[in-house]
Amino acid sequence: MTWHPPRDLVERYARGRLDPVLTMSVESHLARCPACRAAVPYEEEWLTASWERIEDLVDRPRPRLATRLLCRFGVPEHVAVFLAATPALARGWLVAMAGVLGFAVAAARLSAQDGPGAADALIPFLVAAPLLPLAGIAAAYGRHVDPAYESQAATPLAGWRALLLRALAVLCCAVALTGAATPLLPGPPGLAAAWLLPALALTAAALALSTRFAPPVSVAALAAAWSGAVAAGPLFAGDLLLAFSPGAQALYALAVPALLALVYLRRARLDPGETR
Amino acid sequence: MYRFLARRREPPPIGPAGDDAELLAAVAAGRTEALRLLHQRHAPWIRGRLARRCADPDTVDDAIQDTFVAVWRGAHRYRAGEGEVAAWIWPIAIRRLISTLRRTGPAPPATPYDEARLVTESAEDAVLVGVEHGDLGTAVARLSPELRAAIQATVLDGLTVKEAARLLGIPEGTVKTRVMRAKARLRGYLA
């Protein structure tokens, strides 16, 4: 470039003391000339302050993918960070969940047979599926599972809100994964989906019991009760699928709202440090 | 093989003498000191240029902050063949200003053009206008401020009608009619 605007013109431009046409003129020159860009005056303190603000943002670790996705869907940032840090949603847990489902589906497919016994092959899957969200909830929140629990407990998000938020996230993930596995099952499609209501009922029951006992204890008790209930069908009534029969399903459907109401009434008991 | 890998991992040296494209490559590799150099080099003129479009210094500072954070995140998208780094940053800056304005409310009126403090146009200034724009400079000077602002936003800053409307704080339809009228006037002056 052979021609440059005089320095004082650039300075007057930077202070807004040029008429509009000269301003445009200087701007179009600055856009193409590094030397004149460097001549634009600035205060050292302003530059330092401006950089410090940028450095502060740039130095921050980038939010995790899950956090960014949740934010994209309108979840407030602090809630998104909290949900993404749920221990029960860590990659290991998700892989374990997928593994259990994979085995159950494989078992069902391998033992599938035609005729009246076709439904029996589904039993391992139907028993395991409701236990998945249950196990996730035991590991969602609490001093035994969350390394950040102590510092977390002192924040405004702690307590029943935190537990319920994470329980909801865990339930959503477990239901989504199990739902994705359901179409792969052999046997009648209605029966393959019979895990959904027991899963919801057991989750609600786990939360309700957690208002009285520690979540891992409640979950262990419920898992035992669920296995017992499934086993009771063939032992006492001679029906392998008694726990999944329409009557039982109606019972689960009735239990879910009742248990959720109970959780809501006793929610204060879920707070950390509260005697259970 | 090992030495090759080691050499690849070693970051290229950057210094105040480094050219913009190299600095941007270093920013893409996650080096904050390169971003600092770019900020040092480009923040002053970006600030000056944004201040000609928005009179509130806080809004301009916010826009500059957003701009360099955007540069930090998007540095890998720059291709050396696409032209100068400055020409790459400016559209980011003006768009960041527009989104800052959307957050903080309508744009404050642009810096009032202070006739009293203005130094009389010198022969040199007239030459500058002549060199850069020829007769167009005089023609643009005769436009009313509103029409000039519309032309500046859409033609010189390369904004869409929607973005220009947000920057100037006027409806999109008004931007369109002002640009049309300004072009008609200029055509008339230059004929």
Least confident stretch, A15-29, A79-93, A217-231, B79-93: A79-93
Q: What is the mean pLDDT of residues B33-40?
A: 91
Domain with CATH 1.10.1740.10 in chain B: 11-109
* pLDDT tens digits, one per residue of A86-107: 766 677 777 888 888 888 888 8
pLDDT of amino acid A46: 92
Least confident stretch, A27-41, A61-75, A167-181, B86-100: A61-75
Residue with tokens 């640009």: B179
pLDDT of amino acid A17: 84
Q: What is the dihedral of CA A28, A30, A32, A36, to 10 degrees?
A: 150
Domain with CATH 1.10.10.10 in chain B: 118-191
pLDDT of amino acid B117: 41
| Chain A residues closer than 8 Å to B126 by CB | none
Q: What is the mean pLDDT of residues A37-43?
A: 89
ipTM of the complex: 0.75
Contact B45 A37 (CB under 8 A): yes
| CA-based nearest residue to A144, from A94, A66, A218, A205 | A218
Contact B111 A40 (CB under 8 A): no
pLDDT of amino acid B39: 93
What CATH class does B118-191 carry? mainly alpha
Least confident stretch, A73-82, A122-131, B39-48, B94-103: A73-82
pLDDT of amino acid B65: 93
Q: What is the mean pLDDT of residues A36-53?
A: 90
| B10 secondary structure, DSSP code | S
Given CA atoms A152, A155, A158, A162 in this order, what sign does their dihedral have?
Answer: negative
Higher pLDDT, B119 or A269: A269
Helix (H/G/I), strand (E/B), else coil: B79: coil
Residue B121, token pair as written in the block: 């146009």
Q: Which amino acid is at A25?
A: S
Residue B129: pLDDT over 60: no
Residue B120: pLDDT over 90: no
Q: What pTM value is reported for the model? A: 0.57
Taking all residues of chain B, what is their mean pLDDT, rounded to a whole number?
79
Contact B48 A13 (CB under 8 A): yes
| CA-based nearest residue to A116, from A237, A229, A235, A240 | A240
Looking from the CA of B131 toward its CB, the CA atoms found within 13 Å total 16
- pLDDT > 90: percent of chain B: 26
| Chain B residues closer than 8 Å to A46 by CB | 47
Q: What topology is assigned to B11-109 in CATH?
A: Rna Polymerase Sigma Factor; Chain: A (1.10.1740)
CA distance, residue A157 to nearest chain B CA (Å) = 27
Contact B43 A42 (CB under 8 A): yes
| Chain B residues closer than 8 Å to A40 by CB | 44-45, 48
pLDDT of amino acid B116: 40
- pLDDT > 70: percent of chain A: 85
* pLDDT tens digits, one per residue of B161-190: 998 998 888 899 999 999 999 989 988 888
